[in-house]
Structure 1
Protein backbone atom coordinates (compact mmCIF):
# COMPACT_ATOMS: atom_id res chain seq x y z
CA UNK A 1 0.00 0.00 0.00
CA UNK A 2 2.79 2.33 0.86
CA UNK A 3 4.46 1.53 -2.46
CA UNK A 4 1.25 2.40 -4.28
CA UNK A 5 1.07 5.81 -2.54
CA UNK A 6 4.68 6.49 -3.51
CA UNK A 7 3.93 5.70 -7.13
CA UNK A 8 0.91 8.02 -7.15
CA UNK A 9 2.85 10.86 -5.55
CA UNK A 10 5.69 10.45 -8.03
CA UNK A 11 3.23 10.40 -10.95
CA UNK A 12 1.46 13.57 -9.72
CA UNK A 13 4.78 15.32 -9.20
CA UNK A 14 5.90 14.44 -12.72
CA UNK A 15 2.57 15.62 -14.12
CA UNK A 16 2.81 18.97 -12.30
CA UNK A 17 6.42 19.40 -13.41
CA UNK A 18 5.51 18.64 -17.01
CA UNK A 19 2.59 21.08 -16.91
CA UNK A 20 4.78 23.80 -15.51
CA UNK A 21 7.49 23.07 -18.03
CA UNK A 22 5.10 23.21 -20.98
CA UNK A 23 3.26 26.33 -19.84
CA UNK A 24 3.77 29.35 -22.09
CA UNK A 25 5.88 32.24 -20.92
CA UNK A 26 4.32 35.64 -20.39
CA UNK A 27 6.27 37.02 -23.38
CA UNK A 28 7.58 35.83 -26.73
CA UNK A 29 10.60 38.13 -27.12
CA UNK A 30 12.48 40.95 -25.47
CA UNK A 31 14.23 44.02 -26.71
CA UNK A 32 15.24 47.60 -26.02
CA UNK A 33 13.76 50.90 -27.13
CA UNK A 34 15.61 53.11 -29.59
CA UNK A 35 14.89 56.05 -31.86
CA UNK A 36 16.49 58.04 -34.66
CA UNK A 37 18.85 60.56 -33.08
CA UNK A 38 19.86 63.58 -35.13
CA UNK A 39 23.08 65.48 -34.43
CA UNK A 40 22.67 69.20 -35.18
CA UNK A 41 25.96 70.93 -35.97
CA UNK A 42 27.01 74.53 -36.45
CA UNK A 43 26.98 75.81 -40.02
CA UNK A 44 29.12 78.85 -39.28
CA UNK A 45 32.30 79.77 -37.43
CA UNK A 46 32.30 82.31 -34.62
CA UNK A 47 31.28 83.01 -31.05
CA UNK A 48 27.81 81.91 -29.94
CA UNK A 49 25.88 85.02 -28.89
CA UNK A 50 22.52 83.38 -28.18
CA UNK A 51 21.53 79.73 -27.70
CA UNK A 52 18.20 79.32 -25.94
CA UNK A 53 17.81 75.58 -25.30
CA UNK A 54 18.32 73.08 -22.52
CA UNK A 55 18.24 69.31 -22.39
CA UNK A 56 14.69 67.99 -22.32
CA UNK A 57 13.22 70.89 -24.29
CA UNK A 58 10.67 69.91 -26.92
CA UNK A 59 11.41 71.83 -30.11
CA UNK A 60 9.41 72.43 -33.25
CA UNK A 61 10.78 72.37 -36.78
CA UNK A 62 11.72 75.91 -37.85
CA UNK A 63 12.07 77.17 -34.26
CA UNK A 64 14.66 79.95 -33.82
CA UNK A 65 17.22 79.13 -31.11
CA UNK A 66 19.94 81.77 -31.37
CA UNK A 67 22.82 82.94 -33.51
CA UNK A 68 26.58 82.90 -33.99
CA UNK A 69 28.47 86.22 -34.14
CA UNK A 70 28.06 87.86 -37.57
CA UNK A 71 29.78 91.26 -37.11
CA UNK A 72 32.65 90.53 -39.49
CA UNK A 73 30.27 89.20 -42.13
CA UNK A 74 28.10 92.30 -41.92
CA UNK A 75 31.12 94.59 -42.22
CA UNK A 76 32.35 92.69 -45.26
CA UNK A 77 28.90 92.90 -46.83
CA UNK A 78 28.78 96.68 -46.29
CA UNK A 79 32.21 97.02 -47.90
CA UNK A 80 31.13 95.05 -50.96
CA UNK A 81 27.89 97.02 -51.25
CA UNK A 82 29.90 100.24 -51.16
CA UNK A 83 32.05 98.96 -54.02
CA UNK A 84 28.94 98.09 -56.02
CA UNK A 85 27.50 101.55 -55.46
CA UNK A 86 30.77 103.11 -56.62
CA UNK A 87 30.79 101.05 -59.81
CA UNK A 88 27.13 101.73 -60.50
CA UNK A 89 27.67 105.47 -60.07
CA UNK A 90 29.87 105.34 -63.18
CA UNK A 91 27.09 103.83 -65.22
CA UNK A 92 26.06 106.21 -67.96
CA UNK A 93 22.46 107.35 -68.39
CA UNK A 94 21.98 106.44 -72.03
CA UNK A 95 18.85 108.55 -72.43
CA UNK A 96 20.52 111.67 -71.03
CA UNK A 97 23.69 111.15 -73.06
CA UNK A 98 21.86 110.68 -76.37
CA UNK A 99 19.22 113.34 -75.77
CA UNK A 100 21.22 116.14 -77.58
CA UNK A 101 21.39 113.99 -80.70
CA UNK A 102 17.69 113.32 -80.48
CA UNK A 103 17.00 117.05 -80.34
CA UNK A 104 19.26 117.70 -83.34
CA UNK A 105 17.51 114.94 -85.28
CA UNK A 106 14.10 116.39 -84.52
CA UNK A 107 15.17 119.89 -85.53
CA UNK A 108 16.89 118.73 -88.72
CA UNK A 109 13.90 116.59 -89.67
CA UNK A 110 11.65 119.62 -89.26
CA UNK A 111 13.96 121.65 -91.53
CA UNK A 112 13.95 118.86 -94.12
CA UNK A 113 10.15 118.66 -94.06
CA UNK A 114 9.97 122.43 -94.66
CA UNK A 115 12.44 122.23 -97.52
CA UNK A 116 10.57 119.37 -99.19
CA UNK A 117 7.38 121.36 -98.94
CA UNK A 118 9.14 124.36 -100.53
CA UNK A 119 10.58 122.15 -103.27
CA UNK A 120 7.12 120.92 -104.20
CA UNK A 121 5.81 124.51 -104.27
CA UNK A 122 8.64 125.62 -106.57
CA UNK A 123 8.05 122.64 -108.88
CA UNK A 124 4.41 123.66 -109.22
CA UNK A 125 5.40 127.28 -109.90
CA UNK A 126 7.92 126.17 -112.48
CA UNK A 127 5.23 124.30 -114.33
CA UNK A 128 3.23 127.55 -114.47
CA UNK A 129 6.31 129.50 -115.53
CA UNK A 130 6.15 131.41 -112.23
CA UNK A 131 9.59 130.21 -111.00
CA UNK A 132 13.02 129.68 -112.51
CA UNK A 133 15.03 126.43 -112.79
CA UNK A 134 17.72 128.00 -110.60
CA UNK A 135 15.24 128.29 -107.74
CA UNK A 136 14.53 124.54 -108.06
CA UNK A 137 18.27 123.77 -108.21
CA UNK A 138 18.86 125.84 -105.08
CA UNK A 139 16.13 124.09 -103.08
CA UNK A 140 17.32 120.67 -104.26
CA UNK A 141 20.81 121.53 -102.99
CA UNK A 142 19.39 122.57 -99.63
CA UNK A 143 17.35 119.33 -99.34
CA UNK A 144 20.40 117.24 -100.22
CA UNK A 145 22.55 119.01 -97.63
CA UNK A 146 19.89 118.62 -94.94
CA UNK A 147 19.46 114.90 -95.68
CA UNK A 148 23.22 114.37 -95.39
CA UNK A 149 23.27 116.29 -92.11
CA UNK A 150 20.37 114.11 -90.87
CA UNK A 151 22.26 110.89 -91.71
CA UNK A 152 25.40 112.24 -90.02
CA UNK A 153 23.53 113.00 -86.81
CA UNK A 154 21.96 109.52 -86.85
CA UNK A 155 25.39 107.97 -87.35
CA UNK A 156 26.86 110.00 -84.46
CA UNK A 157 23.99 109.02 -82.20
CA UNK A 158 24.43 105.30 -83.00
CA UNK A 159 28.16 105.54 -82.32
CA UNK A 160 27.51 107.25 -79.00
CA UNK A 161 24.86 104.68 -78.11
CA UNK A 162 27.20 101.79 -78.91
CA UNK A 163 30.00 103.29 -76.82
CA UNK A 164 27.70 103.85 -73.87
CA UNK A 165 26.34 100.28 -74.05
CA UNK A 166 29.86 98.85 -74.16
CA UNK A 167 30.86 100.95 -71.15
CA UNK A 168 27.76 99.99 -69.15
CA UNK A 169 28.15 96.31 -70.02
CA UNK A 170 31.70 96.43 -68.68
CA UNK A 171 30.48 98.00 -65.44
CA UNK A 172 27.77 95.35 -65.11
CA UNK A 173 30.43 92.66 -65.46
CA UNK A 174 32.44 94.41 -62.71
CA UNK A 175 29.39 94.33 -60.43
CA UNK A 176 28.61 90.62 -61.01
CA UNK A 177 31.51 89.14 -58.95
CA UNK A 178 30.87 91.63 -56.15
CA UNK A 179 27.20 90.66 -56.06
CA UNK A 180 28.20 86.97 -56.02
CA UNK A 181 30.31 87.65 -52.93
CA UNK A 182 27.35 89.37 -51.27
CA UNK A 183 25.15 86.38 -52.08
CA UNK A 184 27.73 84.11 -50.42
CA UNK A 185 27.79 86.34 -47.35
CA UNK A 186 23.99 86.34 -47.21
CA UNK A 187 24.10 82.54 -47.22
CA UNK A 188 26.66 82.55 -44.40
CA UNK A 189 24.57 85.07 -42.46
CA UNK A 190 21.53 82.79 -42.82
CA UNK A 191 23.59 79.83 -41.58
CA UNK A 192 24.74 81.90 -38.59
CA UNK A 193 21.16 81.77 -37.32
CA UNK A 194 20.60 78.62 -35.26
CA UNK A 195 17.25 77.30 -36.41
CA UNK A 196 15.99 73.86 -35.41
CA UNK A 197 14.98 71.80 -38.44
CA UNK A 198 13.73 68.62 -36.71
CA UNK A 199 10.77 68.34 -34.35
CA UNK A 200 11.70 66.44 -31.20
CA UNK A 201 13.24 66.50 -27.74
CA UNK A 202 16.73 67.77 -26.98
CA UNK A 203 18.72 64.78 -25.69
CA UNK A 204 22.14 66.38 -25.24
CA UNK A 205 23.42 69.96 -25.43
CA UNK A 206 27.05 70.32 -26.48
CA UNK A 207 27.60 74.08 -26.65
CA UNK A 208 26.99 77.19 -24.54
CA UNK A 209 26.76 80.94 -25.09
CA UNK A 210 30.16 82.70 -25.53
CA UNK A 211 31.73 79.45 -26.73
CA UNK A 212 33.72 79.64 -29.97
CA UNK A 213 32.19 77.39 -32.62
CA UNK A 214 33.60 76.09 -35.86
CA UNK A 215 31.61 74.89 -38.82
CA UNK A 216 30.55 71.26 -38.33
CA UNK A 217 30.97 71.24 -34.54
CA UNK A 218 27.96 69.65 -32.74
CA UNK A 219 25.47 71.97 -31.04
CA UNK A 220 22.92 69.49 -29.73
CA UNK A 221 21.37 66.09 -30.29
CA UNK A 222 17.62 65.76 -30.86
CA UNK A 223 15.16 62.90 -31.34
CA UNK A 224 11.43 62.49 -31.78
CA UNK A 225 10.28 60.73 -28.60
CA UNK A 226 6.56 60.81 -29.36
CA UNK A 227 6.98 57.23 -30.57
CA UNK A 228 9.86 54.85 -29.91
CA UNK A 229 11.09 51.80 -31.77
CA UNK A 230 11.42 48.53 -29.87
CA UNK A 231 14.06 46.37 -31.50
CA UNK A 232 13.30 42.78 -30.54
CA UNK A 233 14.53 39.40 -31.78
CA UNK A 234 12.44 36.37 -32.73
CA UNK A 235 13.48 32.82 -33.55
CA UNK A 236 12.88 31.46 -37.02
CA UNK A 237 9.86 29.37 -36.02
CA UNK A 238 8.12 32.54 -34.76
CA UNK A 239 8.34 34.37 -38.10
CA UNK A 240 5.28 32.60 -39.49
CA UNK A 241 3.19 34.21 -36.74
CA UNK A 242 4.05 37.83 -37.58
CA UNK A 243 3.78 40.27 -40.47
CA UNK A 244 4.45 43.95 -41.11
CA UNK A 245 1.60 46.13 -39.81
CA UNK A 246 0.57 43.57 -37.19
CA UNK A 247 -0.33 44.84 -33.72
CA UNK A 248 1.43 43.25 -30.76
CA UNK A 249 1.43 43.73 -27.01
CA UNK A 250 4.50 45.47 -25.55
CA UNK A 251 5.10 45.21 -21.82
CA UNK A 252 7.45 47.02 -19.44
CA UNK A 253 7.91 46.49 -15.72
CA UNK A 254 6.38 49.18 -13.51
CA UNK A 255 7.45 50.20 -10.00
CA UNK A 256 5.23 47.53 -8.45
CA UNK A 257 6.92 44.74 -10.34
CA UNK A 258 3.94 44.28 -12.61
CA UNK A 259 3.63 44.82 -16.34
CA UNK A 260 2.54 48.07 -17.92
CA UNK A 261 1.03 47.29 -21.32
CA UNK A 262 1.32 49.18 -24.62
CA UNK A 263 0.07 48.49 -28.11
CA UNK A 264 2.77 48.40 -30.75
CA UNK A 265 2.84 47.82 -34.50
CA UNK A 266 5.47 45.84 -36.39
CA UNK A 267 6.99 48.08 -39.06
CA UNK A 268 10.07 46.11 -40.13
CA UNK A 269 11.23 42.48 -40.17
CA UNK A 270 14.80 41.59 -41.02
CA UNK A 271 15.34 39.41 -44.09
CA UNK A 272 18.43 37.77 -42.67
CA UNK A 273 19.21 35.94 -39.46
CA UNK A 274 21.89 36.90 -36.96
CA UNK A 275 23.34 35.45 -33.78
CA UNK A 276 21.30 36.12 -30.66
CA UNK A 277 22.55 39.26 -28.83
CA UNK A 278 23.79 38.34 -25.35
CA UNK A 279 21.43 40.75 -23.62
CA UNK A 280 18.33 39.58 -25.51
CA UNK A 281 16.12 36.63 -24.67
CA UNK A 282 13.76 34.89 -27.03
CA UNK A 283 10.97 32.47 -26.26
CA UNK A 284 13.23 29.68 -27.41
CA UNK A 285 16.47 30.62 -25.66
CA UNK A 286 18.22 27.69 -27.28
CA UNK A 287 17.95 29.37 -30.71
CA UNK A 288 21.33 30.52 -31.95
CA UNK A 289 20.01 32.49 -34.92
CA UNK A 290 17.28 35.07 -34.62
CA UNK A 291 15.57 37.72 -36.76
CA UNK A 292 15.39 41.35 -35.72
CA UNK A 293 12.04 43.15 -35.82
CA UNK A 294 11.16 46.79 -35.20
CA UNK A 295 7.98 47.62 -33.35
CA UNK A 296 6.75 51.22 -33.23
CA UNK A 297 5.21 52.11 -29.86
CA UNK A 298 3.44 55.39 -29.00
CA UNK A 299 5.18 56.99 -26.03
CA UNK A 300 3.10 58.28 -23.13
CA UNK A 301 6.19 59.77 -21.52
CA UNK A 302 7.20 56.71 -19.53
CA UNK A 303 9.16 54.99 -22.28
CA UNK A 304 12.87 55.82 -22.44
CA UNK A 305 15.64 55.10 -24.92
CA UNK A 306 17.51 51.93 -23.87
CA UNK A 307 14.66 50.65 -21.67
CA UNK A 308 13.94 46.91 -21.83
CA UNK A 309 10.52 45.63 -22.85
CA UNK A 310 8.86 42.30 -23.55
CA UNK A 311 6.71 41.43 -26.52
CA UNK A 312 3.66 39.20 -26.64
CA UNK A 313 2.59 38.17 -30.14
Structure 2
Protein backbone atom coordinates (compact mmCIF):
# COMPACT_ATOMS: atom_id res chain seq x y z
CA UNK A 1 0.00 0.00 0.00
CA UNK A 2 2.92 2.32 -0.68
CA UNK A 3 1.88 5.94 -1.06
CA UNK A 4 -1.28 5.67 1.02
CA UNK A 5 -2.58 8.44 3.27
CA UNK A 6 -4.15 7.80 6.68
CA UNK A 7 -6.42 10.15 8.60
CA UNK A 8 -6.49 9.73 12.39
CA UNK A 9 -9.45 11.43 14.02
CA UNK A 10 -8.62 12.41 17.58
CA UNK A 11 -4.99 12.13 16.54
CA UNK A 12 -3.77 14.64 19.12
CA UNK A 13 -5.13 12.53 21.95
CA UNK A 14 -3.57 9.74 23.98
CA UNK A 15 -4.07 6.75 21.69
CA UNK A 16 -4.19 8.86 18.54
CA UNK A 17 -0.79 10.50 19.07
CA UNK A 18 0.83 7.18 19.93
CA UNK A 19 -0.66 5.77 16.73
CA UNK A 20 0.55 8.72 14.65
CA UNK A 21 4.07 8.17 15.92
CA UNK A 22 3.92 4.50 14.90
CA UNK A 23 2.40 5.24 11.48
CA UNK A 24 5.07 7.84 10.75
CA UNK A 25 7.70 5.14 11.28
CA UNK A 26 6.06 2.78 8.80
CA UNK A 27 7.55 2.83 5.27
CA UNK A 28 4.22 1.69 3.85
CA UNK A 29 2.51 4.91 5.02
CA UNK A 30 3.20 7.98 2.86
CA UNK A 31 1.16 10.54 4.80
CA UNK A 32 -0.46 10.84 8.22
CA UNK A 33 -3.18 13.40 8.83
CA UNK A 34 -4.90 14.37 12.04
CA UNK A 35 -8.37 15.82 12.64
CA UNK A 36 -8.82 16.98 16.22
CA UNK A 37 -10.79 19.76 17.91
CA UNK A 38 -8.28 19.73 20.81
CA UNK A 39 -11.07 19.46 23.37
CA UNK A 40 -9.00 16.84 25.18
CA UNK A 41 -5.96 16.22 22.97
CA UNK A 42 -2.92 18.45 22.69
CA UNK A 43 -0.77 19.44 19.73
CA UNK A 44 2.26 18.96 21.97
CA UNK A 45 1.59 15.21 21.77
CA UNK A 46 2.51 15.45 18.08
CA UNK A 47 5.71 17.46 18.52
CA UNK A 48 8.35 16.43 16.02
CA UNK A 49 6.04 14.27 13.93
CA UNK A 50 5.58 14.95 10.19
CA UNK A 51 1.79 14.97 10.40
CA UNK A 52 -0.68 17.25 8.65
CA UNK A 53 -2.99 18.65 11.32
CA UNK A 54 -6.56 19.78 10.63
CA UNK A 55 -8.10 21.50 13.64
CA UNK A 56 -11.82 20.82 13.69
CA UNK A 57 -14.63 18.61 14.86
CA UNK A 58 -15.86 15.33 13.42
CA UNK A 59 -19.33 16.91 13.71
CA UNK A 60 -18.31 19.53 11.12
CA UNK A 61 -18.88 18.09 7.65
CA UNK A 62 -16.65 20.67 5.95
CA UNK A 63 -13.77 19.98 8.33
CA UNK A 64 -14.20 16.25 7.81
CA UNK A 65 -14.23 16.60 4.02
CA UNK A 66 -11.10 18.76 4.04
CA UNK A 67 -9.24 16.25 6.21
CA UNK A 68 -10.49 13.18 4.35
CA UNK A 69 -10.00 14.22 0.72
CA UNK A 70 -7.35 12.05 -0.90
CA UNK A 71 -7.07 9.60 2.01
CA UNK A 72 -7.27 5.84 1.73
CA UNK A 73 -7.84 4.96 5.38
CA UNK A 74 -9.46 6.50 8.44
CA UNK A 75 -8.63 5.45 11.98
CA UNK A 76 -11.50 6.95 13.95
CA UNK A 77 -10.51 7.56 17.57
CA UNK A 78 -12.16 10.94 18.25
CA UNK A 79 -14.62 10.64 21.12
CA UNK A 80 -15.78 12.05 24.42
CA UNK A 81 -14.53 9.28 26.72
CA UNK A 82 -15.41 8.24 30.28
CA UNK A 83 -18.43 6.53 31.81
CA UNK A 84 -18.74 9.10 34.67
CA UNK A 85 -18.54 12.02 32.22
CA UNK A 86 -21.38 10.50 30.15
CA UNK A 87 -23.55 10.21 33.24
CA UNK A 88 -23.07 13.94 33.90
CA UNK A 89 -23.61 14.93 30.25
CA UNK A 90 -25.17 12.10 28.21
CA UNK A 91 -26.12 14.30 25.26
CA UNK A 92 -22.53 15.41 24.65
CA UNK A 93 -21.35 11.78 24.74
CA UNK A 94 -24.02 10.74 22.26
CA UNK A 95 -23.33 13.58 19.85
CA UNK A 96 -19.58 13.02 19.80
CA UNK A 97 -19.50 9.24 19.90
CA UNK A 98 -22.61 8.14 17.98
CA UNK A 99 -23.43 11.08 15.71
CA UNK A 100 -19.73 11.83 15.22
CA UNK A 101 -19.06 8.27 14.08
CA UNK A 102 -21.98 8.44 11.68
CA UNK A 103 -20.49 11.57 10.12
CA UNK A 104 -17.08 9.90 9.80
CA UNK A 105 -18.66 6.90 8.07
CA UNK A 106 -20.52 9.22 5.72
CA UNK A 107 -17.26 11.01 4.90
CA UNK A 108 -15.62 7.66 4.17
CA UNK A 109 -18.50 6.80 1.86
CA UNK A 110 -18.42 10.20 0.09
CA UNK A 111 -14.69 9.94 -0.56
CA UNK A 112 -14.75 6.62 -2.34
CA UNK A 113 -15.45 3.97 0.27
CA UNK A 114 -12.41 4.39 2.53
CA UNK A 115 -11.32 1.69 4.96
CA UNK A 116 -12.37 2.70 8.50
CA UNK A 117 -10.96 1.27 11.73
CA UNK A 118 -12.77 2.67 14.75
CA UNK A 119 -12.77 2.59 18.52
CA UNK A 120 -15.65 1.00 20.36
CA UNK A 121 -15.37 -0.05 24.00
CA UNK A 122 -15.52 -3.05 26.30
CA UNK A 123 -18.18 -1.08 28.19
CA UNK A 124 -20.75 -2.30 25.65
CA UNK A 125 -20.77 -5.67 27.46
CA UNK A 126 -21.96 -3.87 30.59
CA UNK A 127 -23.88 -6.05 33.00
CA UNK A 128 -23.44 -9.26 31.01
CA UNK A 129 -21.79 -11.48 33.65
CA UNK A 130 -20.00 -13.86 31.27
CA UNK A 131 -16.19 -14.01 31.60
CA UNK A 132 -14.27 -13.77 29.34
CA UNK A 133 -16.19 -11.38 27.09
CA UNK A 134 -16.51 -12.84 23.60
CA UNK A 135 -17.73 -10.76 20.70
CA UNK A 136 -20.90 -12.81 20.28
CA UNK A 137 -22.17 -12.01 23.78
CA UNK A 138 -25.29 -9.91 24.19
CA UNK A 139 -24.43 -6.26 24.84
CA UNK A 140 -25.94 -4.89 28.07
CA UNK A 141 -24.64 -1.31 28.35
CA UNK A 142 -24.87 0.32 31.78
CA UNK A 143 -24.06 3.94 30.92
CA UNK A 144 -24.75 6.54 28.22
CA UNK A 145 -21.10 6.21 27.18
CA UNK A 146 -21.50 2.48 26.60
CA UNK A 147 -24.69 3.05 24.59
CA UNK A 148 -22.96 5.67 22.44
CA UNK A 149 -20.08 3.31 21.69
CA UNK A 150 -22.45 0.45 20.87
CA UNK A 151 -24.29 2.75 18.47
CA UNK A 152 -20.98 3.75 16.86
CA UNK A 153 -19.83 0.21 16.20
CA UNK A 154 -23.23 -0.92 14.99
CA UNK A 155 -23.38 1.99 12.55
CA UNK A 156 -20.09 0.70 11.16
CA UNK A 157 -21.49 -2.82 10.85
CA UNK A 158 -24.60 -1.44 9.11
CA UNK A 159 -22.48 0.58 6.67
CA UNK A 160 -20.55 -2.55 5.82
CA UNK A 161 -23.84 -4.33 5.07
CA UNK A 162 -25.61 -1.51 3.23
CA UNK A 163 -22.75 0.20 1.40
CA UNK A 164 -19.99 -2.44 1.44
CA UNK A 165 -17.83 0.00 3.39
CA UNK A 166 -14.68 -1.79 4.62
CA UNK A 167 -14.74 -1.42 8.41
CA UNK A 168 -13.19 -2.84 11.55
CA UNK A 169 -14.67 -1.76 14.92
CA UNK A 170 -12.38 -2.48 17.89
CA UNK A 171 -13.64 -2.85 21.45
CA UNK A 172 -10.89 -1.27 23.56
CA UNK A 173 -10.26 -2.62 27.06
CA UNK A 174 -8.67 -0.23 29.59
CA UNK A 175 -5.88 1.11 27.42
CA UNK A 176 -3.03 2.78 29.33
CA UNK A 177 0.42 4.19 28.71
CA UNK A 178 2.44 7.32 27.90
CA UNK A 179 0.55 10.49 26.91
CA UNK A 180 -2.53 9.50 28.93
CA UNK A 181 -3.56 12.49 31.00
CA UNK A 182 -4.14 12.22 34.74
CA UNK A 183 -4.97 15.71 35.90
CA UNK A 184 -8.74 15.76 35.57
CA UNK A 185 -11.82 14.36 37.29
CA UNK A 186 -12.40 11.67 34.67
CA UNK A 187 -8.86 10.30 34.45
CA UNK A 188 -8.46 6.59 33.76
CA UNK A 189 -7.32 4.45 36.65
CA UNK A 190 -3.70 3.71 35.68
CA UNK A 191 -2.62 7.31 35.03
CA UNK A 192 -4.53 8.41 38.12
CA UNK A 193 -2.69 5.82 40.22
CA UNK A 194 0.74 6.62 38.74
CA UNK A 195 0.32 10.37 39.04
CA UNK A 196 -0.84 10.14 42.67
CA UNK A 197 1.92 7.69 43.58
CA UNK A 198 4.68 9.87 42.14
CA UNK A 199 3.22 12.92 43.90
CA UNK A 200 3.10 11.11 47.25
CA UNK A 201 -0.69 11.30 47.41
CA UNK A 202 -3.17 8.54 48.33
CA UNK A 203 -4.46 6.39 45.47
CA UNK A 204 -8.23 6.62 45.18
CA UNK A 205 -10.02 3.31 44.68
CA UNK A 206 -13.75 3.33 44.03
CA UNK A 207 -15.04 0.24 45.86
CA UNK A 208 -13.06 -2.61 47.38
CA UNK A 209 -10.38 -2.77 44.67
CA UNK A 210 -11.12 -6.37 43.78
CA UNK A 211 -12.83 -5.34 40.56
CA UNK A 212 -10.88 -6.62 37.55
CA UNK A 213 -9.91 -5.18 34.19
CA UNK A 214 -8.13 -6.38 31.06
CA UNK A 215 -5.44 -3.69 30.95
CA UNK A 216 -3.93 -3.21 27.50
CA UNK A 217 -0.76 -1.22 26.90
CA UNK A 218 -1.07 1.49 24.27
CA UNK A 219 1.95 0.11 22.41
CA UNK A 220 0.04 -3.12 21.82
CA UNK A 221 -3.04 -1.22 20.69
CA UNK A 222 -1.19 0.85 18.11
CA UNK A 223 0.54 -2.23 16.68
CA UNK A 224 -2.88 -3.77 16.05
CA UNK A 225 -4.25 -0.53 14.59
CA UNK A 226 -1.22 -0.18 12.31
CA UNK A 227 -1.61 -3.75 11.09
CA UNK A 228 -5.31 -3.15 10.45
CA UNK A 229 -4.45 -0.17 8.25
CA UNK A 230 -1.58 -1.75 6.34
CA UNK A 231 -3.58 -4.92 5.73
CA UNK A 232 -6.93 -3.18 5.15
CA UNK A 233 -8.33 -5.75 7.57
CA UNK A 234 -12.11 -5.96 7.87
CA UNK A 235 -14.23 -7.77 10.45
CA UNK A 236 -17.13 -7.33 12.81
CA UNK A 237 -16.64 -5.90 16.31
CA UNK A 238 -13.34 -7.22 17.66
CA UNK A 239 -11.96 -7.13 21.20
CA UNK A 240 -8.63 -5.30 21.30
CA UNK A 241 -7.25 -6.94 24.41
CA UNK A 242 -5.42 -10.15 25.16
CA UNK A 243 -7.37 -11.96 27.84
CA UNK A 244 -5.75 -10.80 31.07
CA UNK A 245 -7.71 -10.15 34.23
CA UNK A 246 -6.12 -7.98 36.90
CA UNK A 247 -7.65 -6.43 40.00
CA UNK A 248 -7.01 -2.83 40.92
CA UNK A 249 -5.30 -3.98 44.11
CA UNK A 250 -2.91 -6.08 42.01
CA UNK A 251 -2.14 -3.04 39.86
CA UNK A 252 -1.28 -1.17 43.07
CA UNK A 253 1.01 -4.03 44.15
CA UNK A 254 2.80 -3.92 40.78
CA UNK A 255 3.15 -0.17 41.10
CA UNK A 256 4.58 -0.56 44.60
CA UNK A 257 7.14 -3.04 43.25
CA UNK A 258 8.01 -0.62 40.42
CA UNK A 259 8.50 2.30 42.81
CA UNK A 260 10.03 0.29 45.64
CA UNK A 261 7.74 1.59 48.35
CA UNK A 262 4.34 1.12 49.96
CA UNK A 263 1.49 3.29 48.68
CA UNK A 264 -1.44 4.75 50.60
CA UNK A 265 -4.90 3.83 49.32
CA UNK A 266 -8.21 5.60 50.01
CA UNK A 267 -11.30 3.51 49.33
CA UNK A 268 -14.32 5.51 48.12
CA UNK A 269 -17.89 4.55 47.28
CA UNK A 270 -18.31 2.54 44.06
CA UNK A 271 -19.25 4.64 41.02
CA UNK A 272 -22.54 4.33 39.18
CA UNK A 273 -22.16 2.66 35.79
CA UNK A 274 -18.85 0.92 36.56
CA UNK A 275 -18.59 -2.70 35.46
CA UNK A 276 -17.41 -5.11 38.17
CA UNK A 277 -15.24 -7.46 36.09
CA UNK A 278 -13.88 -7.28 32.57
CA UNK A 279 -11.75 -9.70 30.59
CA UNK A 280 -11.61 -10.12 26.84
CA UNK A 281 -11.74 -13.26 24.82
CA UNK A 282 -8.72 -12.67 22.59
CA UNK A 283 -9.21 -15.45 20.04
CA UNK A 284 -10.58 -13.15 17.33
CA UNK A 285 -7.91 -10.45 17.58
CA UNK A 286 -5.16 -13.08 17.71
CA UNK A 287 -6.60 -14.75 14.62
CA UNK A 288 -6.73 -11.46 12.71
CA UNK A 289 -3.32 -10.23 13.95
CA UNK A 290 -1.19 -13.28 14.77
CA UNK A 291 2.08 -11.33 14.59
CA UNK A 292 1.20 -8.89 17.39
CA UNK A 293 2.56 -9.77 20.82
CA UNK A 294 0.91 -8.07 23.78
CA UNK A 295 3.17 -6.04 26.09
CA UNK A 296 2.88 -7.48 29.64
CA UNK A 297 1.21 -5.27 32.25
CA UNK A 298 4.39 -5.04 34.34
CA UNK A 299 6.43 -3.78 31.37
CA UNK A 300 3.70 -1.36 30.33
CA UNK A 301 3.52 0.07 33.84
CA UNK A 302 7.29 0.57 33.83
CA UNK A 303 7.12 2.54 30.57
CA UNK A 304 4.18 4.55 31.89
CA UNK A 305 5.98 5.46 35.12
CA UNK A 306 9.09 6.45 33.16
CA UNK A 307 7.00 8.76 30.98
CA UNK A 308 5.31 10.36 34.00
CA UNK A 309 8.72 11.04 35.51
CA UNK A 310 9.51 13.28 32.51
CA UNK A 311 6.57 15.60 33.17
The reply to whether TM is greater than 0.5 is: no
Looking at secondary structure, tell me which structure has more strand per residue.
Answer: 1
What TM-score comes out, normalization by structure 2 length?
A: 0.17
Name the larger-Rg structure: 1
Structure with bigger RCO (C-alpha 8 Å, 6+ apart): 1
